[in-house]
């Protein structure tokens, strides 16, 4: 990376602005309290510069639910759509990029309205490599699998800006020679990745982990894949999965909107079984087959 | 609050700047990931405009430990001292204010160094009122009392910018007619407030809750009070405290650097015993007696 990294910035109420524009006051609650939310999806730009955005309505819906989760006002989705359209028309670099929407609850000391902006930045080399397979560590998230039931203040399922633990877990994994993390509950269940959802394949079909009391974020990529798998007659279900089941799985994957489908090669240095046919299917269902 | 709220901003490497200055790019990790830390103490300004800062060395030490906790570089404390001196000389408004130091891990997309700045803003009316007493809710933090043992990625004791749950818990308490929160563990122990440490008084002395495996932040105000209490021959200790013990306590307080000592009037609508002599002692020990 260097300072010529292509990068697009657009601010709600202002439009596309130079990427060097500062967006945030020193007392912005998003900055000093992580009191805001985000959502990220993929934007794919063709050689002629035209772009398509993956599952934009689903991401905007989740973004709006996240904003409600931090007691923000109902977002004006028309304004967001206009901003995203402007940004997508301006972004002309062929290839894959991440489109990140950001909302903050405004300023803490000096009064001010909520703040919204978006960033488009190219897919990292690391993400492209990780589509070939990842080594994963299981790390405790410190919570029980029922911690978020009837506890809205814990912000389960809300994609807040307070991602320090997610970032620290990824840094820890990389310091140990791994690529990614599966968080586990203190009562022994698999939860999710710091920025991804989990699918495992057992003899009786494909499984993912439940949202709700677990605090797990609803993964749009997992939902997309499961809908497509159901249509093709594959069995898909949701349940709590014990950590030990991972080692007996026929395959396991972490899924996210930008990196797509990453097959898990090993967990805590134990090699996992690979189902390359299913990996190909998952990529197709997720809309990532053209990337391979 | 209105836009004439007095407010001072100083940026590391730049000095005191107009408070309307934006400090943060759209891809700053502190903003989009809560990947940064802060620390806050009180600055007290006399009628002649000269200021003193409470326990600055202790706060700078904790700030440096927090920065290390998010894998930041060792901060140049001389530069921070110079910046704080400049800010304190510029701030001339008599009374009490909060001095907040902020560090972020720099930018995510475009490379850049870590970022540091500070804010001075006046003590809120709410904080002044809450010194007279607070009604508190006990809310689950979703974690066990041992969740942070051997799990550095959970950032126990690190004062990160990822405070969304702390803010949401306070908002929830206020929506229920309470002023503040005591977080509890899923195994039934009292932890800390979202922005404060806890002291309870039992027949055998003053108690606070342990840092370490609990993830509780080391409270500089609690330490200051306990040091002074020890010198005057009061018994002080640290242990895990069951939630039920609170209702039998002779007194209970939430302590923090800016609000000072707030006696807990009730917990979950149950009135608590008040020890007004001890409240006065705690205020004196914490350096807040002149405020009453």
Task: Specify the pLDDT at position A1.
Answer: 37
Provide the residue ranges of all domains of chain B, joining segments of one domain with +.
8-123, 128-291
Same CATH topology for B8-123 and B128-291? no
Task: Specify the pLDDT at position A245.
Answer: 94
CA atoms within 13 A on the CB side of B207: 19
Task: Specify the pLDDT at position B292.
Answer: 54
Buried b / exposed e along A45-84 (16+ C-beta atoms within 10 A): beeeeebebbbbebbbebbbebbebbebeebeeeebeebb
Are A171 and B71 in contact (CB < 8 Å)?
A: yes
The verdict on A93 touching B (C-beta cutoff 8 Å) is: no
Assign A292 a pLDDT band (cuts: 50, 70, 90): low
| Mean pLDDT, residues B206-223 taken together | 98
The verdict on A228 touching B (C-beta cutoff 8 Å) is: no
Phi, psi angles (nearest 5°) of residue A203: -60, -30
* Predicted complex ipTM: 0.95
The verdict on A17 touching B (C-beta cutoff 8 Å) is: no
Assign B82 a pLDDT band (cuts: 50, 70, 90): very high
Are A164 and B34 in contact (CB < 8 Å)?
A: yes
pLDDT tens digits, A115-170: 999 999 999 999 999 999 999 999 999 999 999 999 999 999 999 999 999 999 99
| Mean pLDDT, residues A78-98 taken together | 97
| Residue recorded with tokens 């919204």 | A116
**Does the domain at residues A128-291 carry the CATH identifier 3.30.210.10?**
no
Architecture of domain A8-123 in this structure = 2-Layer Sandwich (3.30)
Task: Specify the pLDDT at position B216.
Answer: 98
Are B1 and A111 in contact (CB < 8 Å)?
A: yes
Of A27, A111, A119, the CB nearest to B2: A111
Cα–Cα distance, A17 to A47 (Å, whole number): 24
Assign B136 a pLDDT band (cuts: 50, 70, 90): very high
The verdict on A163 touching B (C-beta cutoff 8 Å) is: yes
| Residue recorded with tokens 């990745």 | A193
Q: What angle do CA A155, B32, A191 make, to 5 degrees?
A: 45
Lowest mean pLDDT among A53-62, A163-172, A282-291, B225-234: A282-291
Are A31 and B31 in contact (CB < 8 Å)?
A: yes
Nearest residue of chain A to residue B11 (CA atoms):
A26
CA B258 to chain centre: 7
């Amino acid at each position: 990376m260097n300072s010529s990294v292509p990068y697009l910035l657009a601010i709600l109420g202002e439009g596309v602005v130079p990427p060097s524009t500062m967006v945030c006051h020193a007392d912005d609650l998003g900055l000093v309290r992580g009191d805001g939310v985000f959502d990220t999806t993929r934007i794919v730009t063709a050689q002629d510069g035209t772009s398509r955005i993956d599952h934009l309505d689903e991401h905007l819906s989740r973004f709006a639910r996240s904003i409600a989760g931090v007691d923000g006002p109902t977002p004006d989705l028309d304004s967001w759509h206009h901003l995203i359209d402007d940004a997508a028309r301006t972004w002309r670099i062929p290839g894959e990029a991440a489109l990140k929407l950001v909302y903050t609850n405004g300023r803490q000391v000096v009064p001010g309205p909520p703040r919204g902006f978006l960033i488009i930045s190219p897919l990292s080399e690391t993400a492209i490599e990780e589509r070939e397979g990842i080594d994963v560590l299981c790390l405790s998230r410190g919570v029980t699998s029922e911690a978020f039931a009837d506890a809205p203040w814990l912000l389960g399922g809300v994609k807040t800006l307070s991602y320090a633990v997610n970032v620290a877990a990824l840094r820890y994994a990389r310091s140990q020679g791994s690529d990614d993390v599966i968080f586990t509950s203190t009562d022994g269940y698999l939860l999710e990745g710091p920025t991804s959802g989990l699918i495992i394949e057992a003899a009786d079909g494909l499984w993912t982990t439940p949202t709700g009391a677990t605090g797990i974020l609803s993964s749009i990529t997992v939902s997309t894949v499961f809908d497509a798998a159901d249509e093709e007659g594959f069995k898909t279900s949701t349940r709590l999965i014990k950590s030990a089941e991972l080692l007996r799985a026929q395959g396991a994957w972490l899924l996210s909107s930008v990196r797509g489908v990453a097959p898990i090669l090993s967990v805590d240095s134990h090699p996992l079984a690979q189902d390359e046919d299913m990996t190909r299917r998952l990529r197709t269902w997720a809309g990532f087959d053209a990337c391979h």
